[in-house]
Each structure stands twice: as C-alpha cells, then as structure tokens.
C-alpha cells in the first residue's frame, strides 16, 4: 500500500512541482512588473474567485468519494451525467451570485477594482467547471492529462498575462485576462477527455436523489473549505479595508512564496493519498487504510518539516531573490506563514479518517471555529499592527485547527501516529536550520548564490542527520546511497574526460 502511495506521489509530482514552480516563478516576475498596490488588487480578485470556486467544489468532492462506488456498481455513466448537471447548475447559480454581489457593491468599490472583479467572473466560471473535471482525472488515475492541465493553468496564465502586460501595456488587467484566456482555452479539450462519451440523460427525480447523496457528504466540507478560505485569504480583505492595497501586495507576495512552496508539498500528499485511501478503505478495510495513513504521515513529516525550517532560515534571501525591491520588507512574514501551512497539511492527514467514515460535520465545525477566530483576531490586531499580525494569526489558527482535527478524528478512526519519525525529523531539521543559517551569514554578497548553496548544504545536512539517528529504513538508505554514488560517479567521469 505504501509503495502504491509513493508511486502515486511520484506520478503526481509533474502535476504539482512544475505548475508549482511556474506559480513560484510568477511571484518574482509579477512583482517586478506591477507595484504593490496593483498586486494587492490582483490578489483580491483571485481571492474572490477562490471563494466562489470553493462554493462549487462540493461536486468535485463527491467525485472523489463516490466514483469508485458507482463504478463498481456498473453505474459510471449515470454518475457522470449527474455530476455534469450538478456542476452546470451550481456554476450558473454561483456566477449569478458573483455578478449580483458586484452590482450591489458597485458604489463602494474603486472603479478599477470593480472592473477587475468583472474579469474575475470569467475566470471563476472556467476554473470551477475545470476543477470538477480534474477530479475525474484524479480518481481515474489519468495523471498525464491532470498534469498537463495543471501545468497549462499555471504556465498559460503567466505566459498570456506577460504577453498582454509587456506587449500591450495592459497592466494588472492583462494578468487577469491572461488567467481567463488560459482557463477557457483548456476547458474544451478537458471536457472532451472526461465527458465526451457521456449521454446526459437523467430524470429530475433521479437528479434530486443524486444531489441529496452528494450533498449530505460534500456540503459540510464546502462550509469547512469556506472557513479554510477565511483562514488562508480572508486577512487580505481586512488589510485592504483597514490599511491599504499596498500592504496587501507586500503581504500577498511573501505569503505566496511560503504557500506555493510548503502547500505545494502538502497538496501533493493530498492528491496522491486521497483516491488511494478511499479505494483501500472500500476494498481492504479500516486496518489497511490506517496502516497506509501512518506511512503517509511519516513521509509528510520527513519531507515537509525541513522545508519549513529551511524557508524560515533563508527568508530574507528568498524575498530578495524572488520579489521586487518594494516587496523585500515582507520577509518577516515567511516563517509564520510557512509554519501555518505545515499545520494545514498536518491536519489533512487526520481529516482523511473522518472523510473515510463520511463524518464531515466535525470537519466543518473545526474549520468554522478556526476561521471565525481568525476573523476576530484579524479585526482586532491587523488595523494596528498590519500584515505581521495577519501572519501570526494565520499560524495560531492553523495550529488550533490541527488540534481540533486530531481530537475529532481520534474519536472516529484510530491509527498509529509516527512519533519517532516526528522526533527524529524535527531534530534533523533543527540541525539543518542552524547549519544553513550560520553558513548564509558568511557566504557571498549575492543573495541568489547564497540561496542556491544554502539549499544544497541544507539537503545534505538533513539527510546525513537522518542517517545518523536511524530514521531511514534500509531500502531508503540504499536508494539514497545509489543516487549519491551515481551522481559522484558521473561527476568524476566528466572530470576525467
């Protein structure tokens, strides 16, 4: 089972690492093209798109949970037809609500922001439908198409946006129109791949029953995801209302660097383990699923803890390399947000147990409590302390969310937590962090060179400590040793030539 998970993890890497790298690359590119105020507007539009996309996400969640059940029952075509109708109806309703909200707030929004939000409606419609289609690709393990779409979504958005900004001088409008065009261009081939052979025949009564089954499982998760959106993006609105779009831009740039690095890893784990966990649960039972979950958590700790510590140690250098000069002060945000992102991924492992047992209400309650607390803390502290308060409250609320999820999950589904791996990985991360921080203070005058050398040193120190403390298993040691000798051998051969 763990081998299957690691295999899927590797197969998902192109769909996460390459798009994640492109999204990561977009931060230094965009922050050198537009000032913080405009980047703040761009962030607010994309955050609003995320709200409405999350509302429509209940259909995609149902695809992950129920597809295998319907497929095994020989009702795959009926399932696809029901999902199609529910997706179109939900997107139409949410799109109308989006437009209505813009009309009601037209007098309160800056005219330029109102126009940008209009572009956001187009982005939302295309991405909301595409997200549901992508869930079919995941659950069917058609990861080549999934990777291609995610890469295009990130790369096409950046490429078309740059064409409009640099070629036509469109500014932040060009960035948003690039995102809209990229999503729309991918929608037709994606639809054909997933639903091209589906006959859209289902009775109103059958659709209603199907919607009730999907909704009873997914709607609590949607409420929870909306609360998660508040945790992740709600502070932008408080900053914009109480401080300025300029601060939103600085905070968002720093936040995106942390988010697109740490959350790229946690999302990779979620995508790789989600469908496999459901299939193991349905076909092999709770004990097998629990064993798999233990292995997934161990792998998560080993990979994500050092990433958080390394990003914190190199926060100043990372901001100097990856953003324009006006954004550099946001480096203080990185350690807080990176740690918060780690706790977000941590609680997803415990959330899996509740999802398997279809106990989604505790997830919703935990998210709502953490999200409500986040709003309260932001309203109290952000007007006075600015984006640093937003970063600290993000960490506090994500840590509390993780605690809530642990308590709720253990009541429903017990599994063995890898405490030893946590201790050894934390020790190795601490040693690695101290090493790269000390080295970083004494390297060259180039932030880029310092960052590159620091990453290499950090990886080597971390793996060495894992070897020493005995965390790595014999097969893992063998793989790492073979990789090392292969690279050294190639280097020596090249030198001899």
Nearest to 353 by CA among 297, 397, 401: 297
How far is it, in rounded angstroms, from Cα 297 to Cα 422? 9
Angle ∠(14,16,22) on CA atoms, nearest 5: 95
Phi, psi of 254 (to 5 degrees): -65, -45
When comparing pLDDT for 492 and 412, which is higher?
A: 412
How far is it, in rounded angstroms, from Cα 417 to Cα 444? 42
How far is it, in rounded angstroms, from Cα 455 to Cα 314? 9
Judge contact between 147 and 14, C-beta under 8 A: yes
Burial of 443 per CB tally in 10 Å (0-12, 13-18, 19+): middle
Distances in whole angstroms, Cα of residue 355 to Cα of each of 62, 365, 436: 11, 14, 39
Report pLDDT for 484. Answer: 57
Determine if residue 141 is left, alpha or beta; phi over 0 gives left, psi from -120 to 50 gives alpha, anything else beta. left
pLDDT digits (tens, 9 = 90+) for 368-393: 888 889 889 999 999 999 999 999 99
Structure tokens at 410: 């253990």
Q: Can you give the length of the chain in residues? A: 497
Nearest to 248 by CA among 27, 45, 41: 41
Nearest to 139 by CA among 13, 279, 3: 279
How far is it, in rounded angstroms, from Cα 39 to Cα 245? 8
Please compute, for residue 372, the number of CA atoms within 13 A of its CA located in the half-sphere on the CB side. 8
Report pLDDT for 141. Answer: 74
Mean pLDDT calculated for residue range 250-263: 81
Mean pLDDT calculated for residue range 344-361: 80
Nearest to 346 by CA among 294, 275, 297: 297
Structure tokens at 79: 């399932």
How far is it, in rounded angstroms, from Cα 409 to Cα 480? 35
Please compute, for residue 391, the number of CA atoms within 13 A of its CA located in the half-sphere on the CB side. 25
Question: Secondary structure of the chain: what % helix, strand, coil (to 5)?
Answer: 90, 0, 10
How far is it, in rounded angstroms, from Cα 2 to Cα 17? 21
Residue 445 CB: number of other CB atoms within 10 A? 6
pLDDT digits (tens, 9 = 90+) for 399-446: 999 998 888 888 877 788 889 999 999 999 999 988 887 766 666 666
Nearest to 24 by CA among 181, 158, 119: 158
pLDDT digits (tens, 9 = 90+) for 157-216: 888 988 898 877 778 899 999 999 999 998 888 888 888 777 777 777 778 888 888 888
Would you list the DSSP string of 328-396?
GGGGGGHHHHHHHHHHHHHHHHHHHHHHHTT--HHHHHHHHHHHHHHHHHHHHHHHHHTHHHHHHHHHH
Mean pLDDT calculated for residue range 109-127: 90
pLDDT digits (tens, 9 = 90+) for 244-256: 888 888 888 888 8
């Amino acid at each position: 089972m763990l081998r299957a998970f690691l295999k899927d993890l590797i197969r998902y890497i192109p769909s996460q690492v390459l798009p994640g790298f492109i999204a990561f690359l977009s931060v230094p590119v965009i922050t050198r093209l537009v000032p913080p105020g405009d980047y703040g507007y761009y962030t607010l539009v994309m955050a609003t798109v995320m709200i409405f996309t999350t509302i429509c996400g209940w259909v995609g969640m149902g695809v992950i949970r129920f597809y295998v059940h319907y497929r095994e029952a020989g009702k795959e075509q009926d399932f696809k037809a029901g999902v199609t109708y529910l997706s179109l109806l939900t997107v139409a309703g949410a799109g109308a609500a989006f437009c209505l909200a813009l009309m009601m707030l037209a007098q309160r929004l800056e005219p330029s922001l109102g126009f940008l939000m209009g572009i956001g409606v187009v982005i939302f419609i295309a991405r909301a439908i595409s997200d549901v289609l992508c869930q079919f690709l995941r659950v069917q393990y058609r990861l080549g198409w999934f990777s291609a779409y995610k890469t295009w979504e990130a790369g096409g958005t950046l490429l078309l946006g740059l064409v409009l900004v640099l070629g036509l001088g469109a500014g932040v409008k060009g960035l948003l129109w690039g995102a809209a065009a990229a999503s729309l261009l991918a929608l037709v081939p994606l639809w054909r791949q997933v639903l091209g052979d589906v006959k859209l025949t289902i009775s109103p009564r059958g659709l209603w029953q199907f919607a009730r089954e999907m909704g009873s499982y997914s709607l609590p998760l949607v409420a929870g995801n909306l609360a998660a959106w508040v945790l992740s993006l709600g502070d932008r609105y408080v900053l914009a209302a109480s401080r300025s779009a300029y601060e939103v831009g600085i905070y968002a740039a720093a936040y995106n660097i942390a988010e697109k690095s740490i959350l790229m890893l946690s999302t990779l784990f979620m995508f790789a383990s989600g469908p496999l966990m459901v299939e193991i649960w349905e076909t092999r039972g709770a004990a097998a699923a629990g064993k798999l979950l233990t292995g997934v958590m161990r792998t998560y700790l080993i990979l994500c803890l050092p990433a958080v510590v390394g990003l914190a140690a190199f926060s100043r250098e990372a901001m100097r390399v990856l953003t324009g000069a006006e954004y550099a002060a946001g480096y203080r945000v990185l350690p807080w947000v990176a740690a918060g992102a780690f706790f977000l991924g941590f609680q997803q492992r415990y959330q899996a147990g509740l999802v398997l047992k279809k106990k989604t209400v505790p997830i919703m309650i935990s998210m709502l409590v953490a999200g409500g607390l986040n709003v309260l803390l932001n309203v109290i502290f952000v007007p006075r302390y600015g984006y640093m308060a937003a970063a600290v409250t993000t960490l506090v609320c994500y840590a509390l969310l993780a605690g809530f999820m642990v308590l709720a999950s253990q009541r429903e589904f017990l599994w063995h937590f890898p405490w030893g791996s946590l201790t050894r990985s934390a020790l190795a991360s601490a040693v690695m962090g101290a090493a790269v921080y000390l080295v970083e203070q004494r390297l060259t005058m180039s932030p880029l060179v310092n960052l590159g050398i620091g990453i290499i040193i950090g990886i080597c120190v971390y793996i060495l400590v894992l070897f020493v403390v005995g965390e790595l298993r014999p097969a893992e040691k063998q793989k790492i040793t073979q990789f090392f000798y292969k690279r050294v051998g190639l280097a020596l051969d090249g030198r001899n030539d």
